[in-house]
Amino acid sequence: MATLDIRDLHVSVQTDEGAKEILRGVDLTVTSGETHAIMGPNGSGKSTLAYSVAGHPKYQVTSGSVTLDGADVLGMTVDARARAGLFLAMQYPVEVPGVSVSNFLRTAKTAVDGEAPKLRTWIKDVNAALDSMSMDRDFAQRNVNEGFSGGEKKRNEIMQLELLNPRFAILDETDSGLDIDALRVVSEGVNRFSRQGDRGVLLITHYTRILRYIKPDHVHVFVAGRIAEQGGAELAERLEAEGYDRYVKVAAGVASS
């Protein structure tokens, strides 16, 4: 059983006016076999948490800790975090002109595992992953995300998840921009990953629609850089009915006092 532990995490970004604190003391523990959903309004710090754990240089951790089975994640380089078992599916996947999907993924797999997969086996694995995501096998030879629709980019992210098979997947608004069919396919991919039993998922989303397909064990409400409330799947249902307004008002009152 593996554990991703986030303790009293404070994160800032640089703006024209100076450093701006985004996360203001986040405590969160994800254990293998669990799916955690982080929900909240725009600007609440959800994506900042994802990118800070993954090691994006834009975000400066000013205090707190992130550990993976006791190992200091914040002291690792970005590639070391990937080798340790962390995976980030981005809200806006980037295009990589001149690099095919197959070569990109094989390079990533080699970096994570420390050795290159056998080419014949790799081709079979990539084709199987494409089939599972309802993507044409020709996508393997296309440049990474170049000319892909929004839904195709998200399917490609989950295909990477299946092939790299990390210990913990951080999914940043994977449902944004997806139509009903793509949402179902992407959700099925995440569920295949989590059903292994020894994998953890941190799912960041605005809406409950993806949670109709991916059932969270825990739901955390993010507001103003903090976790305002935690609960089970029933909390997501309440948010669908009530929204985030009351949390925002409370946070505004705390900030002004």
Q: Which pLDDT score is estimated for 177?
A: 84
Q: What is the pTM of this model?
A: 0.92
Is the pLDDT score of 257 beyond 70? no
Is the pLDDT score of 254 beyond 70? no
pLDDT mean over 160-165: 95
The rounded percent of the chain whose pLDDT value lies above 70 is 98
pLDDT tens for each residue of 71-114? 999 999 999 999 999 999 988 889 999 999 999 999 999 999 99
Mean pLDDT of the chain: 93
Q: How many residues does the chain have?
A: 257
Instruction: For residues 144 and 101, give the distance between their C-alpha atoms in angstroms, rounded to a whole number.
Output: 5
Instruction: For residues 46 and 31, give the distance between their C-alpha atoms in angstroms, rounded to a whole number.
Output: 19
Is the pLDDT score of 28 beyond 60? yes
Is the pLDDT score of 32 beyond 80? yes
Q: Which pLDDT score is estimated for 256?
A: 52
Pick the CATH number of 3-256 from 1.20.58.340, 3.40.630.30, 3.40.50.300, 2.40.160.20: 3.40.50.300
Instruction: For residues 32 and 226, give the distance between their C-alpha atoms in angstroms, rounded to a whole number.
Output: 23
Is the pLDDT score of 253 beyond 80? no
pLDDT tens for each residue of 198-230? 999 999 998 889 999 999 999 999 999 999 999
Residue 25: partners with Cβ closer than 8 Å, 6 or more residues away: 8, 9, 10, 64, 225, 226
pLDDT tens for each residue of 122-131? 999 999 999 9
Instruction: For residues 154 and 200, give the distance between their C-alpha atoms in angstroms, rounded to a whole number.
Output: 19
Q: Enumerate the domain spans of the chain.
A: 3-256
Q: Which two tokens stand for residue 155?
A: 């399917």
